[in-house]
Amino acid sequence: MSTGKFPRVTRRRFLTQTALTLAAASAPSLSTPFISKARADEKSLSIVQWSHFVPEYDKWFDQFAKDWGTKNNISVTVDHIPVANVAARAAAEASAQSGHDLFGWNGAGGAHLYRKFLVDVTSLVEATEKKYGKVSTIGRQIGYNQDDKTWSAFPDFYINFPAMYRKSMWDEIGMKPDTWDDVRIGGAKLKAKGHPVGISLGHSNDPNTTWRGLLWSFGGALQDADGKNVVLNSKETVEAVKFVTALYKEAMTSEVLSWDDSSNNRYLVSGIGSMIVNPISAYRTFQKANKKGADDTFVMAPPKGPVRRIMGGASEFYGIWKFAKNKEGAIEFLKYYADHWPEAFKASEGYNNPCFANLVPKPMPILSNDPTSTPADKLAVLQDSEQWSASPGYPGPSWPAVDEVYNDFIICDMMAKAASGQMSAEDSVKWAHGQSEAIFTKWHGKT
């Protein structure tokens, strides 16, 4: 007989109903193996890479990957993550032995660090070299393993760091920032007119890259060509640091000590900065924000130092995890991607530079004749940027110790500590040498 009330919840009833609820909730997972089997014929390929600084490139890539998937009956997903999260994502996927099939690394770190987790792509790179010419030095420094002559990753592109200057401002003082001395002398004159030079001394990728370039152009370096010894504490490095101190005091303001990667772009667009060193994304942003100002901004090879003209660059490369579910699909995709690489170059508006010698024959589209620029050949100098671009390990290979020095911002801090007067140039170099040597010693014991 119903009393019209809810039945009393006894302990037994509670346990029985809880068990039934749990069983019902877990039913979908119990059926998963059958569903998986049914879907076995439908292959998939997952890709993760950074959110490109040129958003149009991401749109192009996503569609490109999707179209390839449709042609090959493969479901392709592309995830874009902020550049700062790439390292953490890679570590998480490697630790979990699970994640995307194809992993796109950006800048320092990656292929050599995750070597034991990655599929050997030597045959793929060699086949691509046969078709499109040798890999450039900057492309080789990241994915190539000198010890056993293998490739851990497929070189995609590199980002160059040219100088950008406001022509009208530099014309006014009758100079051009062709050498680092010009930058200091001209920069001092322009600072007095309210238009300082803007090169970050903070903790981010731009200063890590730019100050390495300046160091190399003075003849200094972090390591020797074999990557065995730290050679930072040298007369050349001290000269470079002294130069940066003078450049900071005479031609820049203290703002640069706090800058991130986007600050110099904003500085240029604001109309205050007279010169920056940055990938052309800064120029592209300027074009969208203020065409007139962008037309007055000229792009040139990085300033020449007493020894050479050289600048840091950032290589991009794809690794295929050993635990990837679709390794064959990943390799096939990379082959197809390489064959269509000039499209990627155009989509990036000339930001992505080829790692294979003949991938984009010269004169390169966009760079040799950019209809959005005035004059149209403004970016032509970038066609030869592989001649003055090098990755963080220069003149040696990039390996985990070089990465750690990079990630700890030791070269940036060496410059900043001297520039801001915290240390003398000599002490600052000694400090940086000591820090780097400790890192090298640690990694030599582990590699």
CA dist list (Å): 392 to 22, 55, 310, 401? 54, 26, 12, 11
Full 3-state SS string of 30-54: HHHHHHHHHCCCCEEEEEEEECCCC
Would you say 68 or 151 has its CB closer to another protein? 151
Q: Is the dihedral of CA 6, 11, 15, 16 positive or negative?
A: negative
Residue in 363, 375, 175 with CA at minimum distance from that of residue 275: 175
For residue 20, state whether it binds another protein (rule: CB under 8 A).
no
Terminal-to-terminal C-alpha distance of the chain: 79
Letters for 67-86 (x = contact with another protein by CB under 8 A, - = none) are -----------------x--
Residue 316 to residue 318: CA distance in whole angstroms: 7
**Which residues ranging from 237 to 296 are in contact with another protein (CB under 8 A)?**
254-260, 263, 266-267, 270, 272
Using CB under 8 A, which of the segments 142-150, 369-377, 383-391, 407-415 binds another protein? 407-415
For residue 88, state whether it binds another protein (rule: CB under 8 A).
yes
For residue 321, state whether it binds another protein (rule: CB under 8 A).
no
Would you say 263 or 287 has its CB closer to another protein? 263
Residue 49 to residue 397: CA distance in whole angstroms: 23
Contact residue for another protein among 91, 127, 225, 376 (CB under 8 A): 91
Using CB under 8 A, which of the segments 195-203, 293-301, 304-312, 315-323 binds another protein? 195-203
- 3-state helix vs strand vs coil in the chain, percent to 5: 50, 15, 35
Residue 333 to residue 329: CA distance in whole angstroms: 6
Would you say 78 or 423 has its CB closer to another protein? 423
For residue 236, state whether it binds another protein (rule: CB under 8 A).
no
Beta bridge partners of 398: none
Residue 287 to residue 284: CA distance in whole angstroms: 5
Residue 428 to residue 414: CA distance in whole angstroms: 5
Contact residue for another protein among 417, 425, 429, 433 (CB under 8 A): 417
Using CB under 8 A, which of the segments 8-16, 132-140, 160-168, 338-346 binds another protein? 8-16
Contact residue for another protein among 404, 411, 425, 429 (CB under 8 A): 404
Interacting residue ranges for another protein, rule: CB under 8 A: 11-12, 15, 84, 87-88, 91, 94, 109, 112-117, 201-204, 254-260, 263, 266-267, 270, 272, 400, 403-404, 407-409, 412-413, 416-417, 420, 422, 435, 438, 442-443, 445-447
